[in-house]
C-alpha cells in the first residue's frame, strides 16, 4: 500500500470505520525503527460544528492522561484539508471479537473484567472526563499479556471545559444510559455502560436485544447462572434512574471486593481506604447527578442532533480495495 500521510505515516490497512472517523494501522517513517501506530482521520457521516471540536478534545484529553491502559496520543495535525490524530498502537483485539451470541463468560471472568476496567474508568473520572461510549468494541485485550485497554475517546466529555448543558447525543444504543440519550451524562452513565457490557458477556446476548420491564430496566437474570451478590451489583450499575446507580467506580469496586472476600479468592484492601481515597470523586458524582436531574427537568426531551457511533475496534479491519478509496471513499 502506497499511501503516506504528511510524508511520515505510511498506511498499512484500515482498522475501523464509523460515523465519526476512520482509523488505520500505519508505520511512523520518521521514528527510529519505524514503529507501528494508529492514524485516526476525522470523517463524519453527518457534518456538524461539534465534530471537529470533539476530535480536538479527544486529542487534548488523551494528552492529559498518563495511564498504562489508555493509548497515548502522539500528535494531532491537519493535512490537505483533513484532520488526523496519531496514537500508540495496542497489539490486540477488541472484546467484540471475543463475543458470540449464546457464549457466556464465567462469573469469575466477569468479576475480573469489572475490577480491571473499573480502575481504568476511575482514572478517567478522576481526570474529570466522561468516556460516554463504553462497549466491547472500545476495549482491547493485548495479545501478549491479556491486559485490557480503554480506547476511542471520540465521544468524551471534558468536565473541566464543558458545562452541564444539553449536548450532541453520543453513545451506542443498548449501552448508553437513559440520561445520556437525552444529551446529558454523568460518571454514572459510564458505569451503566460498563454494567451493560458485563451483562452482555454474562448472558451471551446483546443488551439491545434484552427484554425490559415496565420501568425500562433490562431483564437478564434468567438467561445465565449468576450469584445473587454479583447480580445485585450489576442491577445497581444499570438502574434506569441515575440517582439510584452507584455514584462512582470505587463504590462498585468496594462491593466487588466484599464479594471476593466472601469467596476467599482474592486478597483485597479495605473499603474504608477506598472511600477515603476517592471521596472527592464520589462528591463530584453526586453533584453531577443532581445537576443532571435538574437539567432533565428544565429542558425536557432534547432533540438528537446526531448520534456519533464508534470508530470501531483497532484490531482486525478490512483492507481497502484501492489506495484512493482508503482515505477518500
DSSP characters over 298-323: HH-SPP-S--BPP---SSS-PPPSSH
Give counts: helices (H), strands (E), the chain.
Answer: 9, 11
Element (H, E) at 142: strand 139-142
Q: Which three cell numbers mark 246?
A: 452507584
Report the half-sphere exposure of 117 (CA within 13 A, side-chain side): 27
Cα dihedral sign for 12, 13, 16, 20? positive
Residue of 94, 133, 247, 255 marked catalytic:
133
Sorted by sequence, the CB contacts under 8 Å of residue 30 that are 6+ apart come out as 8
- Count CA atoms within 13 Å of residue 120 on its CB side: 22
144 as an active site residue: the answer is: no
Q: What CA–CA distance (Å, rounded) separates 30 from 27?
A: 9
Taking residue 286's Cβ as centre, other Cβ atoms within 10 Å add up to 16
| CA separation for the pair 175, 166 (Å, rounded) | 19
Angle, helices 249-263 vs 107-126, to 10°: value is 150
Closest C-alpha among 131, 26, 133 to residue 84: 26
Catalytic residues: 133
Amino acid at each position: 500500500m502506497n499511501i503516506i500521510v504528511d510524508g511520515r505515516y505510511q498506511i498499512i490497512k484500515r482498522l475501523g470505520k464509523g460515523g465519526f472517523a476512520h482509523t488505520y494501522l500505519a508505520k511512523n517513517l520518521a521514528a527510529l525503527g519505524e514503529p507501528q501506530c494508529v492514524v485516526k482521520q476525522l470523517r463524519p457521516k453527518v457534518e456538524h460544528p461539534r465534530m471537529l471540536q470533539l476530535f480536538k478534545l479527544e486529542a487534548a484529553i488523551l494528552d492529559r492522561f498518563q495511564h498504562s491502559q489508555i493509548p497515548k496520543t502522539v500528535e494531532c495535525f491537519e493535512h490537505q484539508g483533513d484532520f488526523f490524530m496519531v496514537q500508540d498502537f495496542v497489539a490486540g483485539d477488541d472484546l467484540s471479537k471475543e463475543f458470540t451470541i449464546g457464549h457466556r463468560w464465567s462469573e469469575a471472568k466477569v468479576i475480573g473484567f469489572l475490577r480491571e476496567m473499573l480502575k481504568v474508568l476511575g482514572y478517567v473520572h478522576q481526570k474529570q472526563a466522561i468516556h460516554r461510549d463504553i462497549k466491547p468494541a472500545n476495549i482491547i485485550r493485548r495479545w501478549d499479556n491479556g491486559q485490557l485497554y480503554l480506547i476511542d475517546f471520540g465521544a468524551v466529555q471534558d468536565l473541566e471545559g464543558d458545562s452541564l448543558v444539553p449536548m450532541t447525543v453520543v453513545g451506542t444504543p443498548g449501552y448508553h444510559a437513559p440520561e445520556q440519550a437525552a444529551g446529558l451524562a454523568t460518571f454514572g452513565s459510564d458505569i451503566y455502560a460498563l454494567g451493560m457490557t458485563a451483562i452482555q458477556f454474562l448472558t451471551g446476548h446483546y443488551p439491545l436485544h434484552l427484554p425490559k420491564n415496565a420501568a425500562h430496566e433490562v431483564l437478564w437474570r434468567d438467561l445465565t447462572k449468576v450469584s445473587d451478590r454479583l447480580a445485585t451489583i450489576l442491577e445497581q450499575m444499570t438502574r434506569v434512574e441515575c440517582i439510584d446507580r452507584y455514584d462512582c467506580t470505587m463504590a462498585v469496586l468496594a462491593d466487588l471486593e466484599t464479594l471476593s472476600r466472601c469467596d476467599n479468592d482474592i486478597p483485597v484492601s479495605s473499603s474504608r481506604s477506598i472511600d477515603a481515597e476517592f471521596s472527592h470523586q464520589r462528591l463530584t458524582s453526586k453533584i453531577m447527578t443532581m445537576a443532571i436531574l435538574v437539567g432533565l427537568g428544565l429542558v425536557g426531551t432534547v432533540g438528537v442532533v446526531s448520534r456519533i457511533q464508534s470508530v470501531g475496534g483497532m484490531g482486525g479491519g478490512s483492507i481497502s480495495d484501492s489506495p484512493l478509496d482508503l482515505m477518500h471513499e
